[in-house]
Amino acid sequence: TAIDPWPQETFAACLNMHCTGWVIVNAEQQITGFILSLIHTKECHILNFAILPAYQHQGLGCQLLMHALREAKEEGAENAYLEVRASNTVAIALYQKARFFSVGIRKAYYPLIAGKREDAILLACNLNSEQ
């Protein structure tokens, strides 16, 4: 079982570092999804991205990701990068649909419970290629 690697303080620090973020809210104005990215030297790093389980498989994640990538391209980014848990096959499929491809593995990148760790797959996307 995975543990949450991002405490609230980390989110706050990210926002103070000029990260860009978008949220999806439901009719009750509750956050149901978010994405955070950082653009530096023509590269966009997707730092964190999540959709609440009750709102998954409705196309919201795809829309949010594509919006973030379009915005990054408009800001001058040429490539986007992210890490994803090797076990997160649903997210990997979403990223592949958005033209991300594997460029490497980060061994023991994510913490798991009981002191174990999980590999991350490093994915990249050329924002200048045709969709």
* Per-residue pLDDT tens digits for 14-64: 777 778 889 899 999 988 889 999 999 999 999 999 999 899 999 999 999
Write out the two tokens for 10: 């980390």
| pLDDT tens profile 66-123 | 999 999 999 999 999 999 999 999 999 999 999 999 999 999 999 888 889 999 999 9
Cβ pair 57, 51 in contact under 8 A: no
The angle formed by the CA atoms of residues 83, 76 and 86, to the nearest 5 degrees, is 10
Model confidence, pTM: 0.87
Residue 4: per-residue pLDDT: 57
Which residues are catalytic, by number? Answer: 83, 95
Q: Is the pLDDT of residue 1 over 50?
A: no
Which domains occur in the chain, in start order? 8-126 (3.40.630.30)
